[in-house]
Chain A
Amino acid sequence: MKLTREQIAARVAQDIPDGAYVNLGIGVPTLIADFLPEDKEIVLHTENGMLGMGRAALPGEVDDDLINAGKISVTEEEGASYFHHADSFAMMRGGHIDYCVMGAYQVSARGDLANWRTNSTTSIPGVGGAMDLAAGAKHVYVVMELLSKDGTSKLVEHCSYPLTSTECVERVYTDIAVFDIVPAGVRVLEIFDDITVAGLSDLVGFDLIDATLAARA
């Protein structure tokens, strides 16, 4: 069975260690915050200038001066701090953020990331902080559905969309499988759907390395 968006988010949350400083992108990555284990202390960074971001604000908790990068009202955790934009991006660009999790249009076999614009000439380009996170976070994780709406794989040998950064993605969590990108190639760590590693290789269009529990046993 393919995972739902929430299940993918829950799966990523299991891999974030205690004490990590984490930046979660807009969309499915934001959902990860809801699944972080309570026995771990994980500090969320939001690029508009805050560490220790809490959950979304409930009605009655909304503070007009407190939003996240998606411009949603949020709350603050004990120990939170605020800082200006250059400091916030120095945290990202200077290699201080342990994990960032972003969505993607495409990820290549060598870890190139394409997530800021498609090749459409009628859409408005927007890059935000994606290039900074991709270049600066210690670990860059991607969450995405493996297949695009037209059925083609978003994990590809070479990206056809404009790049956000080169050779930066370490791990890709999808609804069908989890992939690790290493110098030797792309390893399949875990499969959720009824498909083999060979079947996945056909789907993505290049050879994958079987690193599932079954292969390791």
Chain B
Amino acid sequence: MIDKEVHDAAEAVAGIEDGAVIMIGGFGPPGQPVHLIDALLAKGVTDLVVINNNAGAGGDAISKLFGAGRVRKVICSFPKAIGSTVFDELYLAGKIELELVPQGNLAERIRAAGAGIGGFFTKTGYGTELATDKEVRLIDGEHYVFETPLHADFALIRASKADRWGNLVYRKTARNFGPIMAAAAKMTIAEVDEVVALGALDPENIVTPGIYVDRFISASSALREMKASS
């Protein structure tokens, strides 16, 4: 029998070690797996490489990881954000490495990793400093830049509902990076608002099939646990 649900946040993030490359879902608060990030913070692992669209905004869960000095490098498209001073200070002090990636390249590099694609040519970034030293090819009269896939050891994502097979559905703009990160990491861990019975999700509308999900925790059980321990 398959049952990917875990009931304890520490168990959810088990196996993540120092130096891990971790994709974290979310664009702004929607889709951000806050309980998993808190569990990662509590676990104490460090020297992490974080892949997210942003670099944390004022006091949110991701910026707590930065603030605690756990992140060696961030790969993102837009580190500037209102209130994201934690990252700003580390960056300007030279204490954190930044790989700035155009947002569509970030998404497509993640997608490529999940789909077993060894790289792709895109018009995005041609003629700019973000394409410096990258291979350029003229295809049908237009310039394209070669980009490589972006893999990760772990993906931490948030979804709306899961069944025990790990099939996921999302809500509105909280979907964002969840489906592509789930496919791109060696191990994908989700937190979900609601766990439903196998068969309760409409097969026509499952967004992330369970094959991409290794374990998940319900946000309510993570929350109960946090309250109990505090």
Q: Which residues of A contact B (CB under 8 A)?
A: 46-50, 63-68, 71, 76, 82-86, 88-90, 92-93, 122-132, 135-136, 162-166
Please tell me if the beta carbons of A135 and B103 are within 8 angstroms of each other in the complex. Answer: no
Assembled-state Cα–Cα distance A71/B126 (Å): 28
Asked if residues A64 and B30 are in contact (CB atoms below 8 Å), the reply is: yes
Residue of A49, A123, A127 with most partner-chain B CB within 10 A: A127
Residue of B91, B105, B173 near A66 (CB, 8 A) is: B173
Q: Smallest distance from the beta carbon of B42 to chain A beta carbons, Å?
A: 24
Task: Pick out which of these stretches binds chain A: B9-17, B176-184, B196-204, B210-218.
Answer: B176-184
Q: Is the CB of A48 within 8 A of B173?
A: yes
- Report the minimum CB–CB distance from B63 to chain A (whole Å): 13
Cβ of B110 < 8 Å from any Cβ of A? yes
* Closest chain B CB from A6 CB (angstroms): 23
Tell which of B43-51, B77-85, B133-141, B222-230 binds the partner.
B77-85
Is B163's beta carbon under 8 Å from chain A? no
Task: Give the complex CA separation of A162 and B103 in angstroms.
Answer: 17
Residue with the highest number of chain B CB atoms closer than 10 Å, among A46, A129, A135, A163: A135
Q: Which residue of chain B has its CB nearest to the CB of A134?
A: B124
What separation, in Å, do the CA atoms of A125 and B105 have in the docked complex? 16
By secondary structure, the A interface counts as loop
Instruction: Name the residue in A68, A85, A86 with the highest tally of chain B Cβ atoms < 10 Å from its Cβ.
Output: A85
The residue that B104 contacts in the complex, of A64, A71, A125, A129, with Cβ under 8 A, is A129
Q: What is the distance, in angstroms, from B14's C-beta to the closest C-beta of chain A? A: 27
Spell out B's residues near A (CB within 8 Å): 27-31, 53, 57, 77-81, 87-88, 91-92, 98, 100-108, 110-111, 122-130, 160, 170-180, 207
Please give, as numbers and ranges, the residues of chain A lying within 8 Å of B129 by CB-CB distance. 162-163
Given the interface pairs A65-B172, A89-B108, the reply to whether A126 lies near B28 with Cβ below 8 Å is no
Q: Shortest Cβ distance from A110 into chain B, in angstroms?
A: 12
The answer to whether A124 touches B103 (Cβ under 8 A) is no
Which residues of chain B come closer than 8 Å to A163, judged between CB atoms? 127-129
Do residues A89 and B172 form an inter-chain contact, with CB atoms below 8 A?
Answer: no
Contact A71–B175 (Cβ < 8 Å): no
From A89, which residue of chain B is reached at the shortest CB distance? B104
Q: Which residues of B contact A131 (CB under 8 A)?
A: 102, 104-105, 124-125, 128, 130
In the complex, the chain B residue whose C-beta lies closest to that of A95 is B123
Q: Please state if B126 and A165 are interface contacts (CB–CB under 8 Å).
A: yes
